[in-house]
Amino acid sequence: MSARGRFLLDRRAFLGEPAGGLAAIALASLARADAVVPYRPLIRPGEPASARPALFTPKANRALVIFCSGALSHLDSFDYKPELIRLDGQPMPGASGLVTFQGEQGALTRSPWDFRPRGQSGKMVSDLLPNLASMADEFCFLHGMTAKSNTHGPAENQMSTGFTLDGFPGMGCWVSYALGSPSRDLPAFVAIPDPRGGPQVGSNHWNSAFLPAMFQGVAFNAAKPLPHLAAPAGLNPMADRKSREYLRLLERKALARNPGDSELEARVASYEMAGRMQVAAAEAADLSRESAGTLRMYGADQADPVRAGFARNCILARRLLERGTRFVQLFNGAYAMGEGVGNWDGHKTLVKQYSVHAPILDQPAAALLADLKRTGLLDDTVVALVTEFGRMPTFQKEASGRDHNPAGFTVLLAGAGIRRGHSHGATDPFGHKAVEGVTTIYDLHATLLHLLGIDHERLSVYHNGIERRLTDVHGHVITGALA
């Protein structure tokens, strides 16, 4: 046998494949390191936002991500640590002189909120968020989560875009790029900012970055409607209508002069959708037809404008999901006011700060989940309650709060395809570092995309020399969290 022939055979043996077609294909794929075939959604110019099939049969047809800005402490909410209670006030073993984000660490400190068993599963959850705690049987708790950055900005970026740097498309943009929207009249991706303001990295969460602008999330909430939805005040409805009719005439003539111009067709389509969106988005954001009972259930009747405001945002989220919006990102917490004031960044006075923030999140978010379950939407909606990273089991030196901790935190999953009443992964006995079933934000993204029928390794777009993915070059579906 010739050297070349022997070599080919050796390679087949090396690949562990029978000689023949498969081995040959494997060889061909060796020719490129990025052998995964990128998935290119088929986007029709006239209907760029219309629904597209998933790569495989999805468990979930839509997604809701509740983002708790400022880093919600896993140790005071969902991650029960008896050792932390036992060693309260003692230095953390093996951590002397530990310097974290804001500086030196003091002693281990148990949560000021008691934990007790909840639901059928008996899951230990604290009293910080009693309404969410009562729904423990709905959740899969990912206790082994880790983040790459211990700074809010980069970490928020990573949780929503997969990258710690600025300039990458939000998760909802990727989903809207891949799947479009079942609704012809509403944006595929809506971001609902907190009544107190935007998250730390603002529109990074929903910017389309290098994806086309049509996949960018549209930000509005119950108090601040979608921009430019209503015709200008100075134009009466008749003038508005006639002016748009005349525009249609101009566009029809432009099309006649330039037959087959797909960009012109796309513009005509975009004005038609804008017209429908004006009606549909206004209707979706109009909560006046919601019953008094519903408003009460969510807490929208609260006197505190922030609590009522977040409750109204939760109702808006449900209305959008009902009406076919593919991806809703609901924000809890804002950063403009600074550390811990309007968000979960409890460095200095944990009890004081969380006592304010917890009731804002708890009742409305729990009501939203219950409502989704009641209406059956939860059967094909995947829900994630996320935050940028965890907090330390110690209090900061000379303070009564916890510093940043990207080495371990908790994410909650619920809804379509999720293993209910289950906990996946664990932190060490103090809740400092994830040690079991360790998962990354890449894994979380891979899992959410998987539930939506998307292979995270194939959903990519070419940008400056590389096929960019939501999961960069990482990520594994967290099968242990799936039903």
Place of tokens 């009522």: 308
What residues have CB less than 8 Å from 399, skipping those under 6 apart? 106, 347, 348, 349
CB 148 to other proteins: min, Å: 9
Nearer to other proteins, 236 or 375 (CB): 236
Could you say whether residue 86 binds other proteins (CB under 8 A)? no
Point out which span in 109-117, 210-218, 297-305, 417-425 binds other proteins (CB under 8 A). 210-218
CB 417 to other proteins: min, Å: 27
Could you say whether residue 243 binds other proteins (CB under 8 A)? yes
Compute the distance between CA of residue 434 and CA of residue 424 in angstroms, rounded to an integer.
11
Nearer to other proteins, 271 or 375 (CB): 271
Compute the distance between CA of residue 418 and CA of residue 411 in angstroms, rounded to an integer.
13
Instruction: Give the count of residues interacting with other proteins (CB under 8 A).
Output: 113
Point out which span in 321-329, 370-378, 429-437, 457-465 binds other proteins (CB under 8 A). 457-465
Instruction: Convert residues 170-209 into a mask of x (bound to other proteins by CB under 8 A) and - (unbound).
Output: -----------------x---------xx-xxxxx--x-x
CB 476 to other proteins: min, Å: 15
- Cβ count near 453 (within 10 Å): 17
Residue numbers 265-304 binding other proteins by CB under 8 A? 266-267, 270-271, 273-274, 277-278
Instruction: Convert residues 41-80 into a mask of x (bound to other proteins by CB under 8 A) and - (unbound).
Output: --x-x--xx-------------------------------
Could you say whether residue 114 binds other proteins (CB under 8 A)? no
Compute the distance between CA of residue 419 and CA of residue 143 in angstroms, rounded to an integer.
14
Could you say whether residue 24 binds other proteins (CB under 8 A)? yes
Measured between alpha carbons, how far apart are the two ends of the chain, in Å?
Answer: 53
Residue numbers 329-358 binding other proteins by CB under 8 A? 335-339, 348
The SS3 call for residue 127 is: coil
> Which one of 58, 144, 154, 425 is in contact with other proteins (CB under 8 A)?
154
What residues have CB less than 8 Å from 174, skipping those under 6 apart? 211, 215, 449, 459, 470
Rg (CA), the chain: 25
The SS3 call for residue 265 is: helix
CB 7 to other proteins: min, Å: 6
Name the H helices within 72-209. 82-86, 130-133, 152-161, 171-179
> Which one of 1, 31, 42, 303 is in contact with other proteins (CB under 8 A)?
31
Compute the distance between CA of residue 194 and CA of residue 95 in angstroms, rounded to an integer.
37
